[in-house]
Chain A
Amino acid sequence: MHVIRDDGSLDPKLDPGLSIDQVVALYKAMARTRVIDDRLERIQRQGRIAFHVGSLGEEAAIIGAAAALRDRDWIVPCYREVGALLWRGYPLQQYIDHMYGNAGDPLRGRQMPDHTVSREHRYLSVSAPIGTQIPHAVGIAMAAKKRGLDECAAVFFGDGATSSNDFHAAMNFAGVYEVPVLFLCRNNGYAISLPAERQTATRTMAEKAAAYGVPAARIDGNDVLAVWRAVREGVQRAADGDGPTFIELMTYRLGGHSTSDDPRVYRSQEETESWQKADPLLRLRKHIEQRDVWNDELDVDWRAVCDAEVKECVRRAEEKPAPALADVFTDVYAEQPWHLREQQAQCVDGPRASDEEDES
């Protein structure tokens, strides 16, 4: 399904009717995410942060979905969806502090970079084992339904996650309990190195949903308005009490799996180049340029604004000390038990691996 046609015009039968300001906001958020990714990749290459997992080429699938959700809906992320969190207004400085694991990191340096979370933005915690977040989304939806709340949970996962134990359990529970959950499968072609066609013998990921009695759609995940439309339809189904929806968002990971990956080992340059033509930013930009609300100059300016913002956040992040060492020992339990009190004292007062300054 395409809403934005190849020539940049909208298919009038499918146009979800967003205002031009809303459409430009989508483009700006997508471009901002790309600038942030680019800058983070550079500083990772310089050894200034440990790791980054970006969303190059998948911005429409992520931001289009986030935009179609209501503020009260829960986002249960995989690990590539920080664009959705930023869309909801998460402060960029906090994200960059998290990337550095410094004293400003709300997670106190406990997790690898790109494992963001925010209760305020109803954005759940990122976990690295694949697929484990999918049943959480179903549980959240079960809770919302039990409490009679008009909320749904939207869970992101990749093509690889459809092989996980948790995926099947979650789909099955969602079907059985008919709960308001959106399964958003970002099919970006690869689970690290394994191509999607070798992940499964089914032709599509979407057809798996039929086995669980869950309605499914398969759409162009690089067409942000198609994503918006499909996700909003899913939200509406959930709000109407019609239960779960599975949406396969067909996209392509233009970059590596993460900064630790080298995709040249498992896929051809030609393949990647052909997908660059399907870049979701290009498709949307063609449309807004056609509407005379965007042009090269605005584009260059916007990216420069975004890059300056990131650079300033990076500068500040690098000035901040490490979080207090004692923070390793808190939040394990609601109240710290005796053994952690003891171990905290042993660690904090004991010999240190490094003499780097921390917050304490």
Chain B
Amino acid sequence: MTEMNLVQAINSGLRDALQQDDNVLVMGEDIGQLGGVFRVTQGLQEEFGADRVLDTPLSETGILGTAIGMALHGLRPVSEIQFADFIYPGFDQLVNEAAKYRHRSGGEFHVPMVVRTPYGGGIRGGQYHSQSPEALFIHTPGLKVVCPSNPYDAKGLLIEAIRDEDPVVFFEPKRVYRAVKMDVPDAPYTVPLGEAKVVRPGEQVTCVAWGAMLYEAFTAAEEVAKQGVDVEVIDLRTLWPLDVEAVVASVEKTGRVVIVHEAPRTCGFGSELVALIAERAFLHLEAPPIRVTGWDTPFPLTHEHEYLPLAHRIAPALLETARY
């Protein structure tokens, strides 16, 4: 066990994967010699060489397109897209190629690749270093979408994602990259995809969150506890395929739900969660579900803390639904 932050845990997961499987390679912009703009890949090129830790030319299309080719050949590329906001030039490669390859080839070829990318706001990054585009990928059949909130899960989910036979988009909450520390095993281990975790059991309101916003949900839950409202906080960890049973079981117990995400509200993942809850737990609901989310605007710089669904907006929503 070593105390690690999120950056160190992901680095440790990458190192383990590189050590365990010769087919794994890591690629992206500035990830080799520099160790990545967030230093997530620090030291890996030195340890594993430039043919397994590739500094790539500056093209998301090139990174994702060649990663697909390598995966088709049987390698397991882990690409870094420097910011989730920059993923769109490679969007076609992800949604039309990686995601569909198994289906469209009748199962003859598949694309075991991972795309790591830091997402989310709160670092004074403005429109193009703050976005949370997870819903676009959840909406794409064939992709899996993961978003860890803490170092332990990050390492375990990453190793599991690299071993997975399907393409996985792995969103890393950069706002908490260095803010959260915990003991993480030095040896490789996995956290299964598709399993949510109840991080704070409660009886009265379910609060669903993931990534950086999990901490805000937790803070808000502690705050309203002082006012007698007992909140259950669920960390989804894998966004898709969703652990729908965990969410529904909690809502069946509490009858009330608040969903928190940074992405814009309309057609955000919260919309799908509300729909699933309505379909599966309608008769258990005691109050309308509430979504506390980013606004339907581009991500602002100066007022980013008013854009983000932080605890100061989550707590009133928890109280509102509890008292409905």
- Encoded as 1 (CB less than 8 Å from any B CB) or 0, chain A from 11 to 34 comes to 000000000000000000000000
* Interface window among A62-70, A132-140, A253-261, A265-273: A132-140
B-side contacts of A176, CB under 8 Å: 57
- Encoded as 1 (CB less than 8 Å from any A CB) or 0, chain B from 86 to 109 comes to 000100110011000111111111
Q: Are A333 and B101 in contact (CB under 8 A)?
A: no
Q: Are A132 and B92 in contact (CB under 8 A)?
A: yes
Q: Are A117 and B72 in contact (CB under 8 A)?
A: no
- Encoded as 1 (CB less than 8 Å from any B CB) or 0, chain A from 103 to 119 comes to 00111101100010111
Docked pose: A176 CA to B25 CA in angstroms: 17
Interface size class of B (residues with CB under 8 A): 35 or more
Q: Is A201 an interface residue (CB 8 A)?
A: no
Q: Are B66 and A142 in contact (CB under 8 A)?
A: yes
Q: Is A241 an interface residue (CB 8 A)?
A: no
Q: Is A211 an interface residue (CB 8 A)?
A: no
Q: Is A331 an interface residue (CB 8 A)?
A: yes
Q: Are B70 and A139 in contact (CB under 8 A)?
A: yes
Q: Are B73 and A144 in contact (CB under 8 A)?
A: yes
Q: Is B256 an interface residue (CB 8 A)?
A: no
- In the complex, which of the residues B75, B102, B141, B165 contacts A146, with contact meaning CB atoms closer than 8 Å? B75
Docked pose: A75 CA to B293 CA in angstroms: 47
- In the complex, which of the residues B62, B97, B164 contacts A169, with contact meaning CB atoms closer than 8 Å? B62
Docked pose: A172 CA to B142 CA in angstroms: 28
Q: Are A142 and B68 in contact (CB under 8 A)?
A: no
Scoring A105, A108, A124, A169 by chain B CB atoms within 10 A of each residue's CB, the highest score goes to A169
Q: Are B141 and A143 in contact (CB under 8 A)?
A: no
A-side contacts of B242, CB under 8 Å: 339
Scoring B57, B92, B104 by chain A CB atoms within 10 A of each residue's CB, the highest score goes to B104
- In the complex, which of the residues A127, A168, A172, A333 contacts B97, with contact meaning CB atoms closer than 8 Å? A127
Docked pose: A144 CA to B75 CA in angstroms: 10
Docked pose: A129 CA to B89 CA in angstroms: 14
Q: Is B241 an interface residue (CB 8 A)?
A: yes
Q: Is B69 an interface residue (CB 8 A)?
A: yes
Give the contacts of B39-74 with A (CB-CB under 8 A).
51-52, 56-57, 59, 61-62, 64-74
B-side contacts of A105, CB under 8 Å: 106
Give the contacts of A95-109 with B (CB-CB under 8 A).
105-108
Q: Are A110 and B104 in contact (CB under 8 A)?
A: yes
B-side contacts of A142, CB under 8 Å: 66, 69-70
- In the complex, which of the residues A124, A166, A173, A332 contacts B141, with contact meaning CB atoms closer than 8 Å? A332
Docked pose: A338 CA to B67 CA in angstroms: 28
Scoring B72, B89, B142, B166 by chain A CB atoms within 10 A of each residue's CB, the highest score goes to B72
Given contacts A117-B108, A125-B109, A173-B62, contact A332 B69 (CB under 8 A): no
- In the complex, which of the residues B25, B51, B75, B104 contacts A127, with contact meaning CB atoms closer than 8 Å? B104
Given contacts A110-B104, A135-B62, A138-B65, contact A173 B57 (CB under 8 A): yes
Given contacts A117-B108, A135-B61, contact A333 B166 (CB under 8 A): yes
- In the complex, which of the residues B73, B93, B102, B108 contacts A333, with contact meaning CB atoms closer than 8 Å? B102
Docked pose: A107 CA to B105 CA in angstroms: 6
Q: Are A119 and B102 in contact (CB under 8 A)?
A: no
Q: Is A334 an interface residue (CB 8 A)?
A: yes
Q: Is A141 an interface residue (CB 8 A)?
A: yes
Q: Are B108 and A170 in contact (CB under 8 A)?
A: no
- Nearest B-chain residue to A111, judged by Cβ: B104
Q: Are A166 and B65 in contact (CB under 8 A)?
A: yes
Q: Are B65 and A337 in contact (CB under 8 A)?
A: no
Docked pose: A124 CA to B96 CA in angstroms: 15
Docked pose: A129 CA to B99 CA in angstroms: 14
Give the contacts of B176-198 with A (CB-CB under 8 A).
194
- Encoded as 1 (CB less than 8 Å from any B CB) or 0, chain A from 129 to 169 comes to 10010111111111110110000010000000000011011
A-side contacts of B68, CB under 8 Å: 135-136, 139
Q: Are B65 and A331 in contact (CB under 8 A)?
A: no
B-side contacts of A144, CB under 8 Å: 73
- Nearest A-chain residue to B164, judged by Cβ: A334
B-side contacts of A138, CB under 8 Å: 62, 65-66, 69
Scoring A108, A115, A333 by chain B CB atoms within 10 A of each residue's CB, the highest score goes to A333
Q: Are A169 and B92 in contact (CB under 8 A)?
A: no
- Nearest A-chain residue to B77, judged by Cβ: A139
A135-B61, A169-B61, A334-B166 given. 6 additional CB < 8 A pairs?
Answer: A132-B97, A136-B66, A143-B70, A146-B25, A166-B92, A172-B59
Q: A residues near B, CB below 8 A?
A: 105-108, 110-111, 115, 117-119, 124-125, 127, 129, 132, 134-144, 146-147, 153, 165-166, 168-170, 172-173, 176, 330-334, 337-339
Q: B residues near A, CB below 8 A?
A: 25, 51-52, 56-57, 59, 61-62, 64-75, 77, 89, 92-93, 96-97, 101-110, 141-142, 144, 164-166, 194, 241-242, 244
**3 closest residue pairs by CB, A with B:** A139-B69, A135-B65, A169-B62
A-B contact pairs, 9 of them (CB 8 A): A110-B104, A111-B104, A127-B97, A135-B64, A136-B69, A139-B73, A143-B70, A146-B52, A165-B89
